[in-house]
Structure 1
Amino acid sequence: MLFLIWCLALVTALWLYLRQRYSRFSAYGVKHFQPVPLMGNMTRVIFRMEHFADQVNRIYSAFPDERFIGRYEFLNPMVVIKDIELLKKITVKDFEHFLDHRTMVDEKTDPFFGRNLFSLKGQEWKDMRSTLSPAFTSSKMRLMLPFMVEVGNQMIETLKKKIKDSKTKSIDVDCKDLTTRYANDVIASCAFGLKVDSLAEENNDFYKMGKEASTFTFRQILMFFAMVNFPKLMKMLKITLFKEAVTNFFKHLVKDTMSEREAHQIIRPDMIHLLMEAKKGQLTHEEKGVNGNDAGFATVEESNVGKKNVDKVWTDTDLIAQAVLFFIAGFETVSSAMSFALHELAVNPDVQDKLVAEIRENEKKNGGKFDYNSIQNMVYMDMVVSEVLRFWPAAIALDRVCTKDYNLGRANDKCDKDYIIHKGESVMIPVWGIHHDPEYYPNPNKFDPERFSEENKHRIQPFTFLPFGVGPRNCIGSRFALCEVKVMLYQLLQHMEISPSDKTAIPAELSTETFNLRIKGGHWVRMKIRE
């Protein structure tokens, strides 16, 4: 009898607790889907019934006339911002109220992943942003382009050999695998000064570690959400997102590379060199662009936050953490953009033909060569890449943590009181939903580079194109990513004709097996040597 009484008391206490937790939005008239006890609105994602991108789009579309809506991530309320003017206030005008990202990895448990630019908070983030931003100017990217071209040449050589060895003079390629290996070799060269050929040597350590660090398996999805939503518990249990072998690999790689360069006075214009310069305080800000050109429509500009001079001394751990971030970001997000670009070029041959014509025109104009300036002057190339980033944004949603109580106003005209978001609560910016909103992009499910033509791009409303984030906390590496994608497409289309294969997914659906962006059934296309 006593046991039953205790059980009843615990159940009642849990019910009262959940009722209180899940009444956060109802009290203010903020619309939301009914949460499942303990799971909130995460059930369909966690049980792999729906990809996170599809959930973001579904929630965004369900309540069309709201300024913001509610979402429960397990027990935690999260406001989803829909109104563009409110989004602008949060990310720019009142940025200091929403300075930080949510904690994903505890810096004490996992310093190499918890001390990077994405994870740092407050003044430390501002100082690190100011320290690193000079490393990502157009002039620095121009010096890295030859490294990208070198990797592209070895990729083309391998593909040509495989095609010539085939009986049909064409091969079916999983372009996600191809672009991941290409991105791996680019980041190995541009960040760490290593020469790696992941197409020829498929299981090299650099590729294996990178794939393990950047691919979110089902276990890692659970760990990721647990760390974000229950950080104290995960810290107490000393659970890390990445295996010790991955952490040790990067630690020794960066330290050994820096030590060797210092000992032998080696200077190579890559990220390791720039980090070493940053540690000495010798990186300086430069004027925008190269000869007036920048990286394209999607480029995000550095804010005044990142342009201040700082004299803070960073530890080796801090520098290793930034190198790890460069690697993971360069490995997964860039390869994702490239793989979706190849898919769209395969299923939209008219777009591919037009882009090939521009590449040939550029070759003719520049004697068969291209450099950073000429590739930035390719108008249609920029249109295609911009539309890829709209249609398949790697950042499905952005988050910001409220650092001091903030009045969001009323969710809709029928609400009778303002919604005050409290310190420690989060907001979500639904990039995927905004990019597929017919109000901003007519016929949003059509791949149409003409949206970004000179005649049309003025119609794109500010703060509705967010592939690299928004505000001072945008992606510091937008120029690097755009340059890499354009170089890869340029070289590949120079030599290869891309078409659908029997395994090409038409229409493309997102796989629920991973948190990463993957096409269900794979990113298959057919390649043959271009005449």
Structure 2
Amino acid sequence: MLFLLWTAVLLAALYLYFHQRYSRFSRHGVKTVKPTPPFGNMGRITLRIEHFVDMLERLYNEYPDEKFVGMFEFVNPMVLIRDIELIKRIGIKDFDSFLDHRVIVDENIDPFFGRNLFSLKGQEWKDMRSTLSPAFTSSKIRLMVPFMVEVGDQMIRSLKKKISDSGVGYLDVDMKDISTRYANDVIASCAFGLKVDSHTIENNKFYEMGKRASSFNFSQLLKFFGYTSFPSLMKLFKLSLFTKETKDFFTELVTSTMKDRETHNTIRPDMIHLLMEAKKGQLTHEDKTAQDEDAGFATVEESSVGKKDINIVWTDIDLIAQAVIFFVAGFETVSSTMSFLLHELAFHPEVQAKLVEEIRENDRKNGGKFNYNSIQQMTYMDMVVSELLRLWTPGLALDRYCNKDYNLGKPNDKATEDFIIRKGEAVSIPVWAIHRDPKYFPDPLKFDPERFSEENRHKIQPFTYLPFGMGPRNCIGSRFALCEVKVMAYQLLQHFELSPSEKSCHPIKLCKSTFNIRIEGGHWIRLKVRN
């Protein structure tokens, strides 16, 4: 009887707790899909019934007349913003009220993630942004293009050899694997100054460590939600997103590279060099010249926050953390963008043919060479990449932490009460769903680069196209990422025809076992050497 009594008391306490947590929005007239304890609205993701983007679209589309709706990450309330003007307020006008991302990991447990630019907060984030932003200007990225081309040449040689060895004149490949190896080798070269050929030496240690750090598998997904929903519990058990082996590898790599360069006075225009300059306070902003063209329509501009001159001495851990986040962010997002781009080109031969003609024209004009400027002048290339980033954006949603009580206004035109989001709560901006809203992009599931032509791009409503985020906290590496994607596309299409394979998944179905966007069964296409 005593056991039954205490069980009843515990159940009653749990009921009251969940009822209190899950009535956060309904008490104020904000609509939300009914949560299921203890998952909130994350049950179908946790059980791998649907992908994260399916949940985003479902919540976004369920209430078309709402400016914002409520959702729950397990027991934590989050406001999903649907109204474009409200998105603008949060990201630009009232940025100081939503300065930070949510806490993901404790910097004492996992300094690599806790001390990087994405995770830093308040003034520390502003200072680090100002420190790093000179490293990502067009003039700096321009110097890294030859490293990208060198990696692309390795990839082309490897693929041509495999086609020759196949004996059938073509090769069916999982382009996610190819693009991941390419992205890995580019970052090894452009960030760490290493020459790695992951197409030939497939299981090299740098590639293996990179995959572990950035794959964001189901275990990492649960840890991520654990930190956002139950941070005290995660800190108690000292759970980290990275393994000790991965952390030790990157620590040794960065510190030993820096020491070696200081000893031998080696200068190479890559990210390690720029971080060393930042540590000495010698990385400064430069005036933009006529040569410093932006990387394309999707490029985001640096705000005044990132252009301030500061004089701060950063620790080695701080610098290692920036190198690691640069690797993690670039490894997965670029490879994902490239694999979806090549899939779309394989299934849209008319787009592929037009892009190949532009590449050939560029070759004719520049004697077979290409550099940062010539790539940026390819208007159709930019249209294709811009449309890909709309349809298959790797930045699925933006999150912002509310650092003081903020009035979001009324959730809809019929509401009688304003909703106040409280300090410590968060908002989510569903970029994926906005990019696929027919109100902003007609026939949104169609891959149509003409949306971004000179004649049409002015029709795109501001703040409805956000592949690299918005406001002062936008993606610092947009120029690098766009340049890398374009260089890889240029080199592949120079040498290969892309077409569907018998293994191709079309229409695309997303794999539910990862937070990242990947095609179920792989990104299979067929490559043939181009005449």
Report how far residue 27 of structure 1 moved.
1.1
Contact 1:139 1:290 in 2 (8 A): no
- Cα distance in 1 for residues equivalent to 2:478 and 2:505: 29
Structure 1 residue aligned with 2:280: 280
Displacement of 1:213 in angstroms is 0.5
Give 2:120's aligned residue: 120
1:90 aligns with 2:90: yes
Structure 2: unaligned runs, 5 residues or longer: none
Alignment-derived partner of residue 416 in structure 2: 416
Deviation by residue 1:385-443 (Cα, 9 ceiling, x = unmatched): 00110000111111000000000001002211100000000000000000000000000
How far apart, CA to CA, are the structure 2 residues paired with 1:287 and 1:424?
A: 39
Q: 1:436 & 1:466 partners in 2: Cα distance? A: 12
C-alpha distance in 2, partners of 1:217/1:356? 36
Measured in 1, the distance between the counterparts of 2:286 and 2:211 equals 34
Normalised TM-score (structure 1): 0.99
Once the two structures are superposed, what CA deviation does each residue of 1:202-234 show, in whole Å capped at 9, x if it has no partner? 000000000001012211111111011111111
1:515 matched to which residue of 2? 515
Partner of residue 221, structure 1: 221
Alignment of 1:177-188 (within 5 A): 177-188=177-188
Aligned twin of 1:334: 334
1:274 alignment partner, SS class: helix
* Local SS of the residue matching 1:408: strand
Residues 274-308 of structure 1: per-residue CA shift (max 9 Å, x gap): 00000111111123465252110000000000000
Matched, 1:38 2:38: yes
State the partner residue of 1:168: 168
- SS of 1:116's equivalent in the other structure is coil
Residues 64-213 of structure 1 mapped to structure 2, 5 A cutoff: 64-213=64-213
For the 8 Å contact 2:114–2:120, the answer to whether it is kept is yes
Other structure's SS at 1:277 match = helix
Cα distance in 1, alignment partners of residues 68 and 26 from structure 2: 13
* 1:292–1:218 distance in 2 versus 1, CA, 3 Å: closer
Q: Identify the residue that residue 302 of structure 1 maps to in structure 2.
A: 302
Does the 8 A contact of 2:138 with 2:292 survive in 1? no
The verdict on how the C-alpha distance between 1:489 and 1:289 changes in structure 2, with shifts beyond 3 A counting, is farther
3-state SS in 2 of match to 1:147: helix
State TM-score, norm by structure 2: 0.99
Equivalent residue of 1:50, what SS? Answer: coil
> SS of the counterpart of 1:424?
coil
Query: How large is the RMSD of aligned CA atoms in angstroms?
Result: 0.8
Deviations 1:455-494 (A, max 9, x none): 0000000001100011100000000000000000000000
**1:21 aligned counterpart, secondary structure:** helix
**1-side partners of 2:377 and 2:287: how far apart?**
19
Separation of aligned partners in 1, 2:193 and 2:216: 27
Match of 1:387 in 2: 387
Contact 1:116–1:318, Cα closer than 8 Å, also in 2: yes
Residue equivalent to 1:14:
14
SS of the counterpart of 1:192?
Answer: coil
Give 1:521 shift.
1.4
Partner of 2:434: 434
Identity %: 69
Q: Matched residues in 2 for 1:27 and 1:4: separation?
A: 33
> 1:453 maps to what in 2?
453
Structure 1 CA distance for aligned equivalents of residues 313 and 514 of structure 2 = 39
Deviation at 1:331, TM superposition (A): 0.7
Distance 1:408 1:454, change over 3 A: same
Aligned to 2:488: 488
| 1:369 aligned partner | 369
SS in 1 for 2:173: strand
Q: In the superposition, relative to structure 1, how do residues 289 and 455 fare at CA in structure 2: closer, same or farther (>3 Å)?
A: farther
Say if 2:466 is the partner of 1:466: yes
Identify the residue that residue 291 of structure 2 maps to in structure 1. 291
Partner of 1:242: 242
For the residue of structure 2 that corresponds to 1:527, the secondary structure is: strand
**In structure 1, how many angstroms separate the alpha carbons of the residues matched to 2:378 and 2:151?**
21
Distance 1:240 1:291 in 2: 43
1:226–1:234 Cα contact (<8 Å) kept: yes
SS of corresponding position for 1:39: coil
What amino acid maps onto 2:183 in structure 1?
Answer: A
Preserved contact between residue 290 and residue 373 of structure 1 (Cα < 8 Å): no
**Structure 1: unaligned runs, 5 residues or longer:** none
Would the aligned equivalents of 1:341 and 1:385 in 2 still touch at CA under 8 Å? yes
